[in-house]
Structures are given as C-alpha cells and as structure tokens.
Structure 1
C-alpha cells in the first residue's frame, strides 16, 4: 500500500534504497497491490504482469477510514478479472475503537460491493495508521477482530495486513493468517513469514509497461487466490472497454517513446514472418519472408506491444515484429557466436534483461531456464 508512514513502520525499509525486482534469490511476484497512487491501470498492464512476471492475484484499495472511496477500485477490479487473475481488496483502517471498526467495515463492505469486488474475495484490513499506533495491543486485537467479523457479513473473507515490526508487537498475528510487509529483501535464500498467508517483500518492483514502483508479495498458500470467482460482468461493460482501448493506446504510445538501438545481427527465420513498411502491425505488408530466410538487421525497438527490428533494403527499410510484448523471438541467430554476461551480486533477471534490450522470458529461454530459477553471481548468461 503506497503510504508514507508504511516505510516508517516497516523497520528494515529505511536501511537502504535499492531496486528490488526479481533478484537472483528474490521471492516470487505472486501478488501485486494497487491503489489510486498507481493511476488508471489497463487490462493490458495486468496481462503483462501475469504473462511476463507470473503475477496471479491483485489486491486493490477499496476505501480508507469512514469516507474515502478509491476512485480506481471499480476499473481495477474489472480489468484485473478481464486479465484472468484473482482479485482481492483492502481497506486502510483509521479506527481506534470497536464501534469505529464496525462502522468502517460496513463502509468498506458497501463500497466493495458497489465497485464489483466478487463475493468470496479477501477484503483485508490494512492496519498501520497513527490511530492504531496509539492503541494498546489488546485494543488493536479487539478492533481488528470486530472489523473482520463485520466484513464477513458481506460475503468477503477477512485478513490483516500490517508491517513486520508491528506483527505481535502492536497486534497479535497468528500462524496461517495475515499478510505481512517486511523489506528491503536481501537475497539470502530466506523465505520471510512463510507461515503467514502472504509476505510483501518490495514496494519498488518494476513492470515492463507500467509506470512507477509496485508493492509485490509472495503467496505462501492459496488464501488470496482461491475461494472466489475469477470473472465478473462489469457494471458498464461498454465503458470499461472504451477505457481499456484508450489506456492501451496510451500505454503503447509510452512504450513507443523508446529509442531505436543499434542491433547489427544476422538471423535465420524459424517461421514465416511478415515484412512490413513500418514498425506497426497495421502497416502494409511488403512481403512474407518464408522460414529459412536469412535476415540482416541494423536496429531494434520495443513499440506497440511488440519488439521490432529493421532490415535495410535496396529501396529503404523493412520491419519485422520479432514477437509479442514478451519478446519471444520468431527467429534464431545464425552461427555459434554468442555474447555473454557475467552475473554480479544484486543482479536479477529483470535488470539483466533490461540492460540488454530483452524480456525476462526471452533471456531465461535462451539460457535454457525460467525466470523462477535462481541465478547466482559468477554465472554466465547468453545475452546475444
């Protein structure tokens, strides 16, 4: 959850400031949480999270206190489900008494219903406010219990989100419950909070077509990815589709702002590929190059949801999409010469892939691995 006071409350978070993507020994990106701080999130962005990074659940902010409704809750819920992922919600708690906890639960439940959060989803209480900090452990336990009991009346499953420094200090956190935030993650092969439902291990994770840093969590069981319907009918399907068309167009426009980079290579096509007049799937097809064709390229770019390369021709240039947004290559490099990268401490699949103009999936595939396999300092990876 993107709130300034979380860093203050999560003890280790002030130690260092470093990028925490998929580090060499990093935890999994099973779940992402989003709020109004992330702005409008399109279906395309959630699909990218699912396909390229393995995200399977998203937890969206629903409400805060007794009056605030997250303006992006409804679109987030509809678009996450359209992307085929599990959806959950959270309420940022401001309650200091049992009566306030019940009132906030009623407000959160009604707001979640109106936003389209499906019955059976988790609606967690996010307990990290100054109000809770001023209460005793016993009072917080009583208030949290009241909130969770009330939220279940709306058909939602309850849980508590809090920081590691507050767990069993400011409130009781039992095994096989709760969602705990503790970072920065230091690769040491340790699975923090493995007996709880989920462990949020970074607030700065990056996703390829989404702007800014995101909170990511590893799920230790299926509490946040089960017991709910995976799809719902949005209240206004036409409006959601229109918003998605606009958002996807803007997203790809942002991706298109990347610069062409030099890529003087020779490839042999594994499959037939369309050679186009420009780097766009809507541009005219110059010809269809059959499998086995040798292609020499001079530049490459990620644009319009695809990775494109440019082929110099006698009368200009031709453009080939090497694959979808995940950059899965449709051709292979000729010859046996490769360029290698030596893994350094702190490297991740993400940082190495970005440095070499690849997707994580492509980088892993061309090394005979998956992005979930640990990489270690000193290893050599094929990057060209």
Structure 2
C-alpha cells in the first residue's frame, strides 16, 4: 500500500532474512500468505500469480480498488480476473482520504460501485486503508466514527469490511479491536516473531521478491480465515519443495530459476515512465547481446510502452526519436532495480522553453516529430511558443 504516507515509525526492511516456512511460526519466519498489489506494481499476469501460489505458498491477493472519490485503479479489473484465474482468494482495499462521516460514506459508495464494476465477488473483503494525512489530523474518536461509517456502507454492497493501518496508529489514532484489523509493522528480521497475532493479518514486509515478478511487494501473514472467505484454504502449492526453498532465499536477493514448470519469459503492454538511478545503455533489442544505440543517465526519464521479462533482466521497450524501438533494462529479474518505474500515467506535459523546436522536444521524449505534433492537434509546421504546454505522453 502507500507506505510513504504512514506516519508510524515503521522500520523499513532493506533486507529481510527468511527461514524455512514451517507451521511453528514462533521459531520460524513470517509466512507469505497474502500479497497486496496496486497500480504501483503495474500489470500482473496470471502466470505471475500462479508462480506466487505454486512457488511461495501465497493463498490470497488483495488488490487496490480505488482512492478518495475519483481514482479508480487502472489495473483493478485485470488484477481481479488474473488472481481468480490463478486459483487464489481475492479481496480489495480502498485508500481513504475521508475526514468526516459524510465523506466516509461517499468514499465507501465510490469504492463499492468500483469494486462491483471491476468484478470483485460478493463476500470478499473490501478494507479501508487508513494512513492518510487527513486521518492523521483527526482525533481517535473522529477516526473511529468515520471508519465505522465506511464499513457499514461497504457491507451494503455485500462485501465484508476491515481496517488496514500501521502498528503505531492501531489503538492510538483509531480503535482496532481483537479479531479484527490488518496491521502493518516491519521488523528488520521477522524470524521468530508473530506480531499482531490477535488481528486478522500482519503485514510484515513491503520489499518481498517473487521470482518472475518485477520489484518489491507487500506481504502479510494471515492469522485466521477472514481473508480467505472464512474457509479453510483450498489453495495448495503444487511444488512444495520450491515453496520451501523460495521462502528461504526470496528476500536475500537470491531467487532461483529452478522451480518445476516455471515460466520465465513474459511480454506485456504497459505504459509508464522509468527514472534510472544509474547510467544505463539502450540496446537495439531486449538483451545485452544487442548493439548499444544510446545512453540514459541519472536525472533523465524514458517513456516506455512494453515490458519484457527474461531469465536475467527485465526490459522496457520505447519508441526512439528516429522511429525505431530502443530497449533499456529496468533491473535484474528478481533482483536489483535500476530505478523507479511509474505506471498508469494517462498524460504527461512539457512546457516549451525558448530555443525549443518540434525536433528537440520529440527527441527528448522518445517521439517522432509527427507523433508529437499530431497528439497535440498540430502539424510539424505549426509554430510553438515559450510557455506553451504540449502533451508528450
């Protein structure tokens, strides 16, 4: 979820060391029972969710539905469909901005309608994610009133309700009763810990790695069956040996590619912007064996339209100013990221500066002059002026 908004002093786990997954959690590592995803994770394929289930023992996925009263997660429908296709339990969450009871009801109505339209099944959990500045400015009594109003309204849509928040906000900024709640708190090393065992779930990391998925993920240990439809889970990993090994090595930055019947190569469409944190070569194809055609440096950005996952690297494809595609490595597959990826951007604008031309702006943004002009309703012969704003994405 939006961990940067949490005001609680949650420890960031740069490297969370995991032990073998066993039933006795008091002496072993926390389990990867549930994963939550949002537009920040980009498009997630069925194959990725199957890998989470088969190789890591994930039982449930909770997807972002909405935020406030206007934002609908652009991947909510595909996430719900692909999670269900992978045979996992599905739930949703809404990022709350409400400060009054009326606003809480309005946000619940928006979240409920959005969830229904996206295909979230009746009976799933639709939690309110309470970690915003608006909530931080409220009294405990006000937050309790607002959360109760949200959850009451959500139940009218046929969904079960819950509250997600940080460990230091629980029973400080708001009341979280026993046998309710989904609490986030990140120890440096989760081995030998079983925090918040009286609540439905404990989110213990925001940096978990999965073998064929890019980037870090939020993972939680489930303490009861609330997030698996109040049933004993019927989801069973098909490769128990892989689950044991992957859970041992996943968060040490060592991810094996030896799981039985594992999928390695994937390609999917995704529009986004990538900000490198190191100097990166642009290749003419999706591999280090292809020729170098350009270079991107720290402080620059590239707008891409496709992601390719190989056994060694994750690549982004983008359209260069010469009309040919370029390929830049987003990071090591299952390992180090080479920068920040922002997805779900509908438009990006550029303000014309003195000395700019259609050619310089197009080249800077990986477009052809014709494409740049046409998406702004103009031609390359139209004069542009300083302070004029152009759509470059």
TM-score, structure 2 normalization: 0.58
| Contact 2:17 2:189 survives alignment (8 Å) | no
- Structure 2 residue 222 is the aligned partner of structure 1 residue 219: yes
**Which of 64, 69, 73 is 1:70 aligned to?**
73
Q: Distance in 2 between matches of 1:155 and 1:49?
A: 28
Q: Deviations over 1:79-128 (max 9, x none)?
A: 00000000000000000000000000000000000000000000000000
Higher helix share: 1
Q: Distance in 2 between matches of 1:171 and 1:351?
A: 32
Q: Distance in 1 between matches of 2:60 and 2:255?
A: 28
Q: 1:361 to 1:350 in 2, by over 3 A?
A: farther
**Aligned residue runs from structure 1 range 149-298, under 5 A:** 149-227=152-230
Q: 1:52 to 1:11 in 2, by over 3 A?
A: same
Residue in structure 2 matched with residue 305 of structure 1 by the alignment? none
Q: Distance in 2 between matches of 1:165 and 1:73?
A: 29
Q: 1:227 to 1:119 in 2, by over 3 A?
A: farther
Q: 1:185 to 1:224 in 2, by over 3 A?
A: farther
Residue in structure 2 matched with residue 250 of structure 1 by the alignment? none
Q: Deviations over 1:159-208 (max 9, x none)?
A: 00000010000000100001000003424512000000000000000000
Q: 1:361 to 1:175 in 2, by over 3 A?
A: farther
Q: Could you say what the CA RMSD is over the residues aligned between the two structures, in angstroms?
A: 2.8
Residue in structure 2 matched with residue 13 of structure 1 by the alignment? 11
Q: Shift of residue 10 of structure 1? A: 3.6
Question: Unmatched 5+ residue regions in structure 2?
Answer: 21-27, 263-393
Q: Deviations over 1:201-247 (max 9, x none)?
A: 0000000000000000000000000159x9xxxxxxxxxxxxxxxxx
| Contact 1:64 1:94 survives alignment (8 Å) | yes
Residue in structure 1 matched with residue 250 of structure 2 by the alignment? 350
Q: Distance in 2 between matches of 1:356 and 1:212?
A: 16
- Structure 2 residue 18 is the aligned partner of structure 1 residue 22: yes
Describe the SS at the equivalent of 2:11: helix
Describe the SS at the equivalent of 2:111: helix
Q: Shift of residue 23 of structure 1? A: 4.0
Q: Deviations over 1:251-284 (max 9, x none)?
A: xxxxxxxxxxxxxxxxxxxxxxxxxxxxxxxxxx
Q: 1:102 to 1:361 in 2, by over 3 A?
A: same
- Structure 2 residue 55 is the aligned partner of structure 1 residue 52: yes
Q: Distance in 1 between matches of 2:14 and 2:261?
A: 23
Residue in structure 2 matched with residue 122 of structure 1 by the alignment? 125
Residue in structure 2 matched with residue 4 of structure 1 by the alignment? 4
**Aligned residue runs from structure 1 range 134-153, under 5 A:** 134-153=137-156
Q: Distance in 1 between matches of 2:60 and 2:240?
A: 23
Residue in structure 2 matched with residue 272 of structure 1 by the alignment? none
Q: Distance in 2 between matches of 1:222 and 1:124?
A: 15
Residue in structure 2 matched with residue 267 of structure 1 by the alignment? none
Describe the SS at the equivalent of 2:48: helix
- Structure 2 residue 96 is the aligned partner of structure 1 residue 93: yes
Q: Distance in 1 between matches of 2:167 and 2:253?
A: 31
Q: 1:185 to 1:196 in 2, by over 3 A?
A: farther
Question: Unmatched 5+ residue regions in structure 1?
Answer: 231-324, 330-346, 363-384
Q: Distance in 2 between matches of 1:328 and 1:126?
A: 35
Residue in structure 2 matched with residue 40 of structure 1 by the alignment? 43
**Aligned residue runs from structure 1 range 342-381, under 5 A:** 348-350=248-250, 354=254, 358-359=258-259
Q: How many residues align?
A: 247
Q: Distance in 2 between matches of 1:104 and 1:2?
A: 17
Describe the SS at the equivalent of 1:45: helix
| Contact 1:10 1:183 survives alignment (8 Å) | no
| Contact 1:327 1:359 survives alignment (8 Å) | no
Q: 1:187 to 1:112 in 2, by over 3 A?
A: closer
Describe the SS at the equivalent of 1:12: coil
Q: 1:360 to 1:150 in 2, by over 3 A?
A: same
Q: Distance in 2 between matches of 1:79 and 1:192?
A: 30
